[in-house]
Amino acid sequence: MNTPEPRPNMDHWQERIDLAASFRWVERLNMHEGVANHFSLAVNDEGTQFLMNANQMHFARITASNLLFLDANDPETMTKPGAPDPTAWGLHGSIHRLCPQARCVMHVHSIHATVLASLADSNLPPIDQNTATFFNRYVIDDGYGGLAFEDEGARCAAMLTDPKQKVMIMGNHGVLVIGSDPADTLNRLYYFERAAETYIRALQTGQKLRVLSDEIAEKTAQELEDYPSQAEAHLREIKLVLDAEGSTYAS
């Protein structure tokens, strides 16, 4: 696997590599939004110092070395050279400042998750294994207030209080996923988009849905949470694919 030597004076090298690989894969899956959307990863115990993509950089060009290192408690961040996107600072900075359990945060406007977020009822019923994965494990934000500057970011962060809920369906906006590290978070993001696609396509048939019972949905969700090492294997294989293609993500 591609693990070049860390750059001089650049800490958190393995974390940088894993986050950069996540950007590259999300771009490949067409879940990106041009030069918008952001991923971040806390790198200190308090969760307040974090890595994030640079302002207006396409996911396909992100590397381990060009990720920003930011401090959620630094009030001068937006006045410094190389400052992040102001909406990224508002949303991700607020979450890392207020939600220490959110070690990794991935926010996208992927098509199917955003379609779900645009419905009057944005619930995701458990109609298959992927949708059951998220049974009772998401929160719906129905109070969209415009671009995610700091006030809007703090409002969103305040909704992430239940440790069981690691997906925010952002009404009229997109989806935000949190996790323990890039592997955990990317895996959750990938399967949420798959689940949303299944549901949206099922709705398009106009047929009655076969919805699982609450008991079976919860059982399935718990079994998948306990399933060993899937997220780690998913990111490992992604990096191996990228390495074989000569990707520069780990540079």
pLDDT at 5: 59
Are 235 and 187 contacting, i.e. CB atoms less than 8 angstroms apart?
A: yes
**Cα-based distances in Å from 81 to 38, 64, 77, 148, 213:** 19, 19, 9, 21, 54
User: Can you tell me the distance from the alpha carbon of 43 to that of 40, in angstroms, rounded to the nearest whole number?
Assistant: 10
pLDDT at 9: 61
Question: How many whole angstroms from its chain centre is CA 225?
Answer: 17
Per-residue pLDDT of the chain in tens (251 residues, 90 and over written 9): 555 555 656 899 999 999 999 999 999 999 999 999 999 999 999 999 999 999 999 999 999 999 999 999 999 999 999 999 999 999 999 999 999 999 999 999 999 999 999 999 999 999 999 999 999 999 999 989 877 677 888 999 999 999 999 999 999 999 999 999 999 999 999 999 999 999 999 999 999 999 999 999 999 999 999 988 999 999 999 999 999 999 999 99
User: Cα angle at 223 between 117 and 226, to 5 degrees?
Assistant: 100
Are 6 and 251 contacting, i.e. CB atoms less than 8 angstroms apart?
A: no
pLDDT at 151: 83
pLDDT at 220: 98
Helical ranges in the chain per DSSP H: 13-28, 86-88, 94-98, 111-118, 129-132, 150-157, 182-205, 214-226, 230-244
Q: What CATH class is the domain 13-244?
A: alpha beta
Residue appearing with tokens 């990111």: 235
